[in-house]
């Protein structure tokens, strides 16, 4: 049997061997090309394309992504991959007339990772591979430059040690810094050949100590180990979290590029640099970049030496400069997009090492897209896809003014939360509050921490911006600041924050409390000194021009969530086509209103017992006093008294709320406004139960000052002076206890409030329609849509709908004017989605409350999910925070089903969504595909939603798949 299966296996083997794993590039032509990003990765595809275009690219080969995927599956590399690699290596050796790491003229290569989407700094490159104790001698002789040879070898050990052997960078840095200190020099370039040889000896000891074996001397073994390390690096934590945040598929894998080394560190006629064909921060059409003479690889970006502006190259080597300009201009024309390139000059000869579509700010994305349309490089349709919807947020936050100042970038961290912030450094939250929090002498501060924790909240609140040296895009600092709309640079690893000494050290400079820095949260730059900021401009002419190209594609409407007139005005300025959610409860937090709101909730009956009793006696035809009543009748009277108390408070609220509605209607003249009746659990308006308990328990021990503070704290609850405290607090606690719920989010809220206390709905509806009629009389076009929250059954909807319609008619009759309106519901319980066909009998519109719907579908508490979420994301159990990007697979099904079922009953049913997801591009695209009429999001996301909706529709019409710059 075994012998019989053997030939078959061989046949399979040979069939599989038709897979092309290795793609060669060099000598003016390449096996692959620029379109093969899936196979070759972005870097490999770029190298192939540049080679085919006849550009000076050091030759080499790319091991394609399939080999990485196989490695992930099997933890090994197949014989076929090995065979093809050796073949390519032999071809490279033949082309260059060298042998890998051997002979008088050893072949040396770099091993570079490169996935389909660029993942900056995610996987490290190894340079100078092939060097060993012997070939380093050959290199020294051949180059006639022992210092250069030793420098290259020590770099190899360092990079190989870190990337392949997993040795901490710091282990090597310690050795290197000690040597510099011993030689009393500041720059790497000051160390001599002998110094570097000593460093190599020490480096090898580091390797031996950490790995219990010597640094591998066999060049091919070095290559194999490096290749596999690149494959493994696809799975490291940094790479994983980057992919998660940027929504990149985990299964893509990375390619490995093996490339002939060229040297920028051969002396003063050599150098290395990076650049952009246009300014990636502002979009200005200018040659932009930096370089260093006598340097290699990452020296330019690592901040060890200060690089020089690329225009200086024109003075040093005019011919090379012209050639570089010419090549990069050609590349830009070829790719029809702004390029981000890397180059090295070896002995005055230019080599191109990388080119890709450059990452840019939103501002630059819009500008570059417009320029390229004007230059005839792309069409207006293509331009629509050149801007990521989220990037438009950049137009709504302040920016740094970099025009007239020299900008010294101290470090670049993660662009955790966009915008700009300029201020004086503080190292603790307390200090931030002290400096920035009070009075007229407010100082702008930047809170600088290694990492932030929940205790820093107060400091973060008052700071202009936050800078951390550790943590990623989902760190506490990043998440919290994004929520606050505050600028943040996170994980700026080059910065050392010494909280004890209250010092920040970077690039050999020390900064103390009070020193000025500027943050650019859009690019992640930390800049020395005090720059000016430019305020945001939503009516930027270029933005408007760009939007005028995208808008004709858009079919789905975009509304905004706005609770107060000011937000509505703002939303309209950003292009909102209505209000999708006006939350009435937010109106109550105002100074004048909160007291009445609390009165309404507390419904203190004492004052109203006589009136309730009168009512009771009248109804029963009796004449008894309260004391004479049976206990059951007593509680009935009490309940009536409570209702009267509620009504009295509501009566105070009514005119105030009516004014608010009128303000919103006025701001949205001619556009629909969806107003939701009261939704949150009532205890949210009351003091915390625990606080009350503590205050009552400690009251007798509080000082006079503390008691005064208590009076202020409880002044809305009938506490007028210190003397009232003892009497007023216990009944307040009793009421709070009464309202206390174990799961308030699943409790007495939403339509359940309006059903148990119909007078609340009645009052709110009255306020809405009185305002609507008043506005109509003034010539304002009002389109109110009254929305009932948290409905799960048809009867709930019918109950509240009836109140709305009855009160509306009452108001119309009283005022002698009618307005058109609609009554509808939020779909935010799974049950409502399931019986949407039923509910649509009573509801004229649906608006998905995807926050609650996500909460209830997953059974995740939105307020506590952060205890679980980090682990879930790290383990890959969830790919994204479902409260940020809609869970299309699960929650999305409910959305789809409810829309279909609702429209079956009522074909004209208007369907929208008003959760956080309404401003998140991938969710917006889903809502478009599902056939929703509109999305509604916060005013600051309206631009993003508009572009996302336009792109979704344009992709359909133009039959393009995304096509945007990744
Ligand atoms: P990243 O993806 O992080 O940009 P790269 O693979 O582009 O990593 O390489 C890191 C650095 O090493 C870059 O500065 C690049 O120019 C340089 N480099 C890579 N390969 C070579 C080579 N064959 N010769 C000279 N420099 C190289
Ligand atoms: Mg690179
Ligand atoms: Mg809700």
Q: For 289-348, how does the pLDDT look when each residue is reduced to its tens digit (9 = 90+)?
A: 889 998 887 777 665 667 788 999 999 999 999 999 999 999 999 999 999 999 999 999
Q: 44, exposed or middle or buried, with CB in 10 Å at 0-12, 13-18, 19+?
A: buried
Q: Is 354 in the pocket of ligand 1 (CB under 6 A)?
A: yes
pLDDT of residue 120: 61
pLDDT of residue 687: 86
**CA 286–ligand 1 middle distance (angstroms):** 24
**CA 414–ligand 1 middle distance (angstroms):** 21
What is the rounded average pLDDT of the residues 563-575?
Answer: 90
Could you give the percent of the chain with pLDDT greater than 70? Answer: 95
Catalytic, 914? Answer yes
Retrieve residue 518's tokens: 């500027």
Phi, psi for 189 (deg, rounded to 5): -65, -15
Alpha-carbon span 196 to 40, nearest angstrom: 36
Is 885 in contact with 922 (CB distance < 8 Å)? yes
Which DSSP symbol is given to 860? -
Q: Whose CA is nearest to atom 26 of ligand 1?
A: 297
Give the residue, 717 or 71, on which the prediction is more confident. Answer: 71
pTM (2 d.p.):
0.82
pLDDT tens string 78-121: 999 999 999 999 999 999 999 999 999 999 999 999 999 877 65
**CA 134–ligand 1 middle distance (angstroms):** 24
Annotate 393-445 with DSSP letters as a single string: GGGGS-EEE-SSS---EEEE-EEEE-SEEEEEEESSHHHHHHHHSSSS----E
pLDDT at 9 exceeding the cut of 50:
no
Residue whose CB lies within 8 A of the most ligand 1 atoms, among 126, 298, 342, 349, for a mutation test: 342
pLDDT at 3 exceeding the cut of 50:
no
Q: Which atom of ligand 1 is nearest to the CA of 257?
A: 6
Mean pLDDT value across the chain: 90
pLDDT of residue 959: 64
pLDDT of residue 1: 36
pLDDT at 380 exceeding the cut of 90:
yes
Q: Is 270 in the pocket of ligand 1 (CB under 6 A)?
A: no
What is the rounded average pLDDT of the residues 815-843?
Answer: 97
Confidence of residue 960 (pLDDT cuts 50, 70, 90): low
- Active-site position among 68, 487, 914, 937: 914
**CA 158–ligand 3 middle distance (angstroms):** 55
Phi, psi for 505 (deg, rounded to 5): -120, 135
Annotate 252-291 with DSSP letters as a single string: S-EEEEEEE---S-SSTT-EEEEEESS-TTT--SS-EEEE
**CA 140–ligand 1 middle distance (angstroms):** 22
Ligand nearest, relative to CA of residue 561 = 3
Q: Is 41 in the pocket of ligand 1 (CB under 6 A)?
A: no
pLDDT at 965 exceeding the cut of 80:
no
pLDDT of residue 964: 39
pLDDT of residue 123: 72
Q: Whose CA is nearest to atom 20 of ligand 1?
A: 110
pLDDT tens string 535-564: 887 788 999 999 999 999 999 999 999 988
pLDDT at 134 exceeding the cut of 50:
yes
Angle at CA of residue 476, ends 472 and 477, nearest 5°: 80
**CA 641–ligand 3 middle distance (angstroms):** 31
Q: What is the 3-state secondary structure (H, E, C) of 340-385?
A: EEEEEEECCEEEEEEEEECCCCHHHHHHHHHHHHHCCCCCHHHHHC
Ligand nearest, relative to CA of residue 342 = 1
CA quadruple 454, 459, 463, 466: dihedral, nearest 10: -40
pLDDT at 423 exceeding the cut of 80:
yes
What is the rounded average pLDDT of the residues 844-868?
Answer: 91
C-alpha distances in angstroms, 566 versus 578, 773, 778?
Answer: 14, 21, 20
Q: In what order do the strands lie in the sheet with 503-506?
A: 496-498, 503-506, 509-512
**CA 750–ligand 3 middle distance (angstroms):** 8
What is the rounded average pLDDT of the residues 681-698?
Answer: 88
pLDDT tens string 38-48: 999 999 999 99
C-alpha distances in angstroms, 656 versus 301, 592, 659, 771?
Answer: 58, 9, 5, 11
**CA 503–ligand 3 middle distance (angstroms):** 45
Which DSSP symbol is given to 740? -
Is 772 in contact with 733 (CB distance < 8 Å)? no
pLDDT of residue 304: 60
Catalytic, 476? Answer yes
Q: Whose CA is nearest to atom 19 of ligand 1?
A: 110
What is the rounded average pLDDT of the residues 396-425?
Answer: 88
pLDDT of residue 963: 41
Q: Is 259 in the pocket of ligand 1 (CB under 6 A)?
A: yes
pLDDT at 787 exceeding the cut of 70:
yes
- Rounded to a whole number of angstroms, the CA Rg of the chain reads 34
Q: Whose CA is nearest to atom 8 of ligand 1?
A: 125
Ligand nearest, relative to CA of residue 788 = 3
- The neighbouring-strand residues paired with 496 are 505
Q: Collapsing DSSP states into helix, strand and coil, what is residue 131?
A: coil
CA-based nearest residue to 413, from 297, 513, 303, 290? 303
Alpha-carbon span 64 to 85, nearest angstrom: 11
Alpha-carbon span 642 to 649, nearest angstrom: 11
Neighbouring residues of 44: CB distance < 8 A, sequence distance ≥ 6 = 23, 32, 36, 62, 64, 114, 255, 257
Could you give the percent of the chain with pLDDT greater than 90? Answer: 66
Ligand nearest, relative to CA of residue 790 = 3
Q: Collapsing DSSP states into helix, strand and coil, what is residue 811?
A: helix
pLDDT at 940 exceeding the cut of 90:
no
Look at strands 532-534 and 525-528 and give their pairing: unpaired
pLDDT of residue 755: 97
Q: Whose CA is nearest to atom 14 of ligand 1?
A: 297
Residue whose CB lies within 8 A of the most ligand 1 atoms, among 51, 109, 112, 158, for a mutation test: 112
Lowest mean pLDDT among 311-315, 455-459, 634-638: 455-459
pLDDT at 2 exceeding the cut of 50:
no
Retrieve residue 447's tokens: 């809170």
Q: Is 127 in the pocket of ligand 1 (CB under 6 A)?
A: yes
Ligand nearest, relative to CA of residue 679 = 3
Lowest mean pLDDT among 197-206, 234-243, 489-498: 234-243
Q: Is 342 in the pocket of ligand 1 (CB under 6 A)?
A: yes
- Find the helix or strand (DSSP H, E) in which 173 lies: helix 169-182
Q: Is 939 in the pocket of ligand 1 (CB under 6 A)?
A: no
Q: In what order do the strands lie in the sheet with 254-260?
A: 29-30, 22-26, 60-63, 254-260, 109-115, 126-129
Lowest mean pLDDT among 453-462, 761-770, 772-781, 909-918: 453-462
Q: Is 290 in the pocket of ligand 1 (CB under 6 A)?
A: no
Q: Is 298 in the pocket of ligand 1 (CB under 6 A)?
A: yes
What is the rounded average pLDDT of the residues 679-697?
Answer: 88
CA-based nearest residue to 188, from 302, 110, 312? 302
Q: Whose CA is nearest to atom 27 of ligand 1?
A: 297
pLDDT at 12 exceeding the cut of 70:
no
Give the residue, 124 or 72, on which the prediction is more confident. Answer: 72
pLDDT of residue 8: 44
**CA 784–ligand 3 middle distance (angstroms):** 19
Q: Exposed e or buried b for every residue in 886-919, given b needs 16+ CB within 10 A?
A: bbbeebbebbbebbebbbeebeebbbbbbbbbbb
pLDDT of residue 4: 40
Q: Is 518 in the pocket of ligand 1 (CB under 6 A)?
A: no
Q: Is 888 in the pocket of ligand 1 (CB under 6 A)?
A: no
Q: Collapsing DSSP states into helix, strand and coil, what is residue 156?
A: helix
**CA 341–ligand 2 middle distance (angstroms):** 8
Residue whose CB lies within 8 A of the most ligand 1 atoms, among 110, 295, 341, for a mutation test: 110
What is the rounded average pLDDT of the residues 611-629?
Answer: 90
Q: 813, exposed or middle or buried, with CB in 10 Å at 0-12, 13-18, 19+?
A: exposed
Q: Exposed e or buried b for every residue in 294-316, given b needs 16+ CB within 10 A?
A: bbbbbbbeebbbebbebeebeeb
Neighbouring residues of 844: CB distance < 8 A, sequence distance ≥ 6 = 822, 823, 824, 906, 909, 910
What is the rounded average pLDDT of the residues 457-468?
Answer: 90
Identify the sign of the CA torsion 360, 362, 364, 365.
positive
Q: Is 58 in the pocket of ligand 1 (CB under 6 A)?
A: yes
Q: Which atom of ligand 1 is nearest to the CA of 123?
A: 3
Percent helix, strand, coil in the chain (nearest 5)? 50, 15, 35
pLDDT of residue 360: 87
pLDDT tens string 206-260: 999 999 999 999 999 999 999 999 999 898 877 887 787 677 888 899 999 999 9
Retrieve residue 733's tokens: 């606690």
Alpha-carbon span 345 to 318, nearest angstrom: 13
What is the rounded average pLDDT of the residues 115-139?
Answer: 87
pLDDT of residue 16: 52
What is the rounded average pLDDT of the residues 811-827?
Answer: 97
- Active-site position among 476, 596, 683, 917: 476
Residue whose CB lies within 8 A of the most ligand 1 atoms, among 270, 354, 412, for a mutation test: 354
Q: Is 121 in the pocket of ligand 1 (CB under 6 A)?
A: yes
Q: Is 353 in the pocket of ligand 1 (CB under 6 A)?
A: yes
Q: Is 110 in the pocket of ligand 1 (CB under 6 A)?
A: yes
Q: How far, in whole angstroms, is CA 234 from its chain's centroid?
A: 22
CA-based nearest residue to 348, from 564, 63, 566, 56? 56
Confidence of residue 768 (pLDDT cuts 50, 70, 90): very high
**CA 766–ligand 3 middle distance (angstroms):** 22
pLDDT at 168 exceeding the cut of 60:
yes
């Amino acid at each position: 049997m075994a012998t019989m299966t053997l030939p078959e296996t061989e046949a399979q083997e040979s069939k599989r061997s038709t897979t092309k794993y290795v793609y060669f590039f060099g000598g003016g032509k390449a096996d692959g090309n620029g379109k093969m990003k899936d196979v070759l990765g972005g870097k490999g595809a770029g190298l192939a394309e540049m080679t085919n275009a006849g550009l000076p690219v050091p030759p080499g080969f790319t091991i394609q992504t399939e080999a990485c995927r196989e490695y992930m599956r099997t933890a090994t590399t197949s014989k076929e991959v090995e065979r093809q690699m050796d073949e390519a290596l032999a071809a490279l050796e033949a082309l260059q007339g060298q042998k890998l790491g051997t002979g008088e003229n050893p072949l040396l290569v770099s091993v570079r990772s490169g996935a389909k989407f660029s993942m900056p700094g995610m996987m490290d490159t190894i340079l100078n591979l092939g060097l060993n104790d012997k070939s380093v001698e050959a290199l020294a002789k051949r180059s006639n430059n022992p210092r250069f040879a030793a420098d290259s070898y020590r770099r190899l050990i360092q990079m190989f040690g870190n990337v392949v052997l997993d040795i901490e960078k710091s282990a090597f840095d310690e050795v290197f810094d000690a040597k510099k200190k011993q030689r009393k020099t500041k720059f790497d370039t000051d160390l001599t050949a002998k110094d570097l040889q000593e460093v190599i000896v020490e480096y090898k000891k580091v390797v031996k100590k950490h790995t219990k074996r010597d640094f591998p001397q066999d060049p091919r073994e070095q290559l194999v180990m490096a290749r596999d390390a690149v494959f493994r690096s696809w799975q490291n934590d940094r790479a994983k979290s980057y992919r998660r945040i940027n929504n990149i598929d985990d299964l893509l894998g990375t390619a490995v590029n093996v490339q002939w080394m060229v040297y920028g560190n051969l002396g003063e006629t050599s150098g290395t640099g990076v650049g952009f064909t246009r300014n990636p921060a502002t979009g200005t059409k200018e040659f932009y970049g930096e370089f260093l003479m006598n340097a290699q690889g990452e020296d330019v970006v690592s901040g060890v030496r200060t690089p020089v502006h690329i225009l200086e190259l024109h003075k040093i080597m005019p011919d090379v400069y012209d050639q570089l300009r010419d090549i990069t201009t050609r590349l830009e024309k070829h790719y029809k997009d702004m390029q981000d390139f890397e180059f090295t000059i070896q002995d005055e000869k230019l080599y191109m090492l990388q080119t890709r579509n450059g990452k840019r700010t939103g501002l630059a994305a819009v500008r570059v897209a417009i320029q390229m349309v004007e230059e005839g490089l792309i069409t207006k349709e293509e331009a629509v896809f050149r801007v990521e919807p989220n990037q438009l947020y950049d137009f709504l936050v302040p920016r740094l003014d970099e025009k007239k100042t020299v900008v010294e970038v101290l470090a670049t961290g993660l662009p955790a939360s966009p915008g700009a912030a300029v201020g004086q450094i503080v190292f603790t939250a307390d200090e931030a509050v002290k400096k920035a929090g009070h009075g007229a002498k407010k100082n702008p501060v930047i809170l600088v921490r290694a990492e932030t924790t929940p205790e820093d909240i107060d400091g973060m609140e008052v700071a202009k911006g936050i800078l951390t040296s550790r943590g990623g895009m989902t760190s506490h600092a990043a998440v919290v600041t994004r929520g606050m709309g505050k600028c943040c640079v996170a994980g700026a690893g080059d910065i050392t924050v010494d909280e004890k000494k209250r010092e920040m050290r970077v690039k050999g400079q020390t900064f103390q409390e009070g020193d000025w820095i500027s943050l650019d949260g859009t690019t992640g730059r930390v800049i020395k000194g005090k720059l000016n900021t430019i305020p945001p401009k939503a009516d930027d002419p270029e933005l408007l021009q760009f939007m005028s190209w995208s808008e004709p594609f858009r079919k789905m409407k975009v509304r905004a969530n706005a609770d107060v007139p000011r937000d509505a005005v703002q939303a309209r300025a950003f292009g909102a086509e209505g209000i999708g959610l006006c939350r009435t409860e937010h109106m109550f937090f105002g100074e004048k209103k909160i007291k009445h709101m609390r009165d309404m909730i507390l419904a203190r009956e004492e004052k109203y017992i006589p009136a309730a009793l009168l009512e009771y006696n009248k109804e029963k035809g009796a004449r008894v006093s309260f004391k004479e009543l049976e206990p059951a009748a007593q509680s009935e009277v009490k309940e009536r008294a409570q209702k009267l108390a509620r009504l009295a408070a509501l009566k105070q609220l009514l005119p105030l709320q009516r004014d608010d509605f009128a303000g919103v209607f006025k701001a949205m003249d001619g556009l629909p406004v969806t107003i939701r009746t009261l939704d949150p659990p009532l205890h949210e308006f009351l003091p915390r139960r625990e606080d009350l308990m503590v205050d009552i328990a400690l009251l007798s021990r509080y000082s006079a000052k503390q008691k005064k503070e208590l009076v202020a704290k409880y002044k809305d609850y009938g506490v007028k002076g210190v003397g009232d405290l003892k009497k007023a607090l216990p009944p307040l606690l009793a009421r709070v206890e009464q309202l206390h719920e174990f799961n308030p989010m699943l409790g007495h809220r939403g339509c359940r409030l309006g059903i148990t206390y119909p007078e609340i709905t009645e009052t709110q509806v009255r306020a809405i329609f009185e305002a609507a009629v008043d506005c109509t009389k003034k010539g304002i076009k009002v389109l109110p849509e009254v929305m009932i929250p948290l409905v799960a059954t048809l009867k709930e909807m019918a109950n509240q709908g009836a109140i709305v319609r009855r009160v509306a008619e009452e108001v119309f009759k009283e005022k002698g004017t009618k307005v058109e309106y609609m009554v509808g519901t939020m779909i935010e319980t799974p049950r409502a989605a399931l019986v949407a066909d039923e509910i649509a009998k009573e509801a004229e519109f649906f608006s998905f409350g995807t926050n609650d719907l996500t909460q209830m579908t997953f059974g995740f508490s939105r307020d506590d999910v952060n205890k679980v979420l980090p682990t879930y994301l790290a383990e890959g159990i969830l790919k994204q925070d479902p409260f940020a990007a809609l869970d299309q697979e699960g929650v999305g099904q409910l959305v789809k089903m409810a829309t279909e079922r609702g429209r079956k009953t009522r074909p004209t049913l208007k369907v929208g969504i008003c959760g956080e997801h309404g401003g998140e591009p991938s969710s917006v695209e889903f809502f478009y595909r599902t056939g929703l009429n509109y999305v509604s999001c916060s005013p600051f996301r309206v631009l993003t939603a508009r572009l996302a909706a336009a792109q979704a529709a344009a992709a359909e019409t133009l039959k393009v798949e995304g096509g945007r710059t990744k």
